[in-house]
Amino acid sequence: MGNCCNNTRHDGDGHAANHSSRNKKKTRADFVSPWTGIPFTLFGIGTYIADVGSDIWLATDYFMTGDYMWAVWTLCFILLPQIVLFLFYWKDRDFISAVKVPIWPILL
C-alpha cells in the first residue's frame, strides 16, 4: 500500500489524525514576525545605558559637591552588580575552574 506522505506513520488513527498540524488552530504567536522583538531589545539596551549614564552623572555630581560617601555608595551600586555578573559568567564559562579559584571569597 502506498504511503501518501513521505516519512509519516499511519498507526490506524486515520489519515487526518496524522496531519493534525494542518488543522491546528493558528495562534497569535504564529502571526508574529521575528522582527517584532528588535524594538523591545533596542529599548531595553537604551534604558540600561541611560540608567548607568545617569548613575555615573550622579556620582560625579556627588564628588563635585564634596559628598564623597554618597559618591562611593553610588559607584558601589553601579559596579558591584557588574562584577558579580562577570564573575558568575566567568565561572559558567569554566575559566575559573581551570585555575581552581573559588568565587565566594572574592565576593566577600
The domain segmentation of the chain, as residue ranges, is 37-107
60 or 36, greater pLDDT: 60
Q: Average pLDDT of the chain?
A: 76
- CA dist 38 and 44 (Å) reads 10
- What pLDDT sits at residue 23? 66
Output the nine-digit C-alpha cell for 97: 575552574
The model's pTM is 0.53
Answer yes or no: are the C-beta atoms of 77 and 55 closer than 8 Å: yes
Under the banding of pLDDT at 50, 70 and 90, the label for residue 56 is very high
The confidence score (pLDDT) of residue 57 equals 97
Indicate if the pLDDT at residue 54 is higher than 60. yes
